[in-house]
């Protein structure tokens, strides 16, 4: 019974993340790949994504703290983060990366203070279930 309640709570959380535009169809496709033979597939994938994201963000912080910013390296890390966020369906992270890459192309240091939570997703189609 407790397992059923946890499952319902998890489903509710995932549904709310879809409704808020935090997740996209890619996450739903990943859910379809999980089966009884690999019950921890999504958890493992998200754990890897979080670890890689932390590493990339640490590298970006180092690069952006330099007096002279290597825009090419910054762009490469942001591109990597965009790709990994796309693969797990992390819609807001992907959108933040798109915007961040634009700031990088423009050499716009002021744009780096982007708050990904404040992204205006009304102009971007979010997936509802």
Say how far apart CA 17 and CA 31 lie, in whole Å.
14
Nearest of 71, 74, 90, 70 to residue 82 by alpha carbon: 90
Question: Residues 43-52: what's their mean pLDDT?
Answer: 95
pLDDT tens-digit readout, 100-121: 999 889 988 777 665 544 444 4
Question: What is the per-residue pLDDT for 101?
Answer: 92
CB-based contact 49:68 (threshold 8 Å): no
pLDDT tens-digit readout, 18-32: 999 899 999 999 988
Question: What is the per-residue pLDDT for 74?
Answer: 94
Number of H helices, E strands in the chain: 5, 0
**What are the structural domains of the chain?**
2-121 (1.20.120.160)
Q: What is the pTM of this model?
A: 0.78
Question: What is the per-residue pLDDT for 73?
Answer: 96
């Amino acid at each position: 019974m407790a397992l059923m309640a946890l499952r319902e709570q998890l489903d509710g959380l995932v549904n709310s993340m879809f409704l808020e535009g935090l997740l996209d169809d890619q996450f739903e496709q990943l859910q379809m790949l999980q089966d009884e033979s690999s019950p921890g597939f999504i958890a493992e994938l998200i754990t890897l994504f979080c670890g890689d994201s932390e590493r990339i963000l640490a590298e970006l912080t180092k690069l952006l703290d330099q007096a002279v910013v290597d825009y090419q390296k910054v762009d490469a890390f942001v591109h990597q983060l965009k790709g990994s966020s796309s693969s797990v369906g992390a819609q807001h992270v992907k959108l933040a990366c798109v915007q961040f890459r634009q700031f990088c192309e423009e050499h716009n240091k002021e744009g780096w203070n982007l708050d990904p939570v404040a992204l205006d997703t009304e102009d971007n189609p979010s997936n509802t279930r």
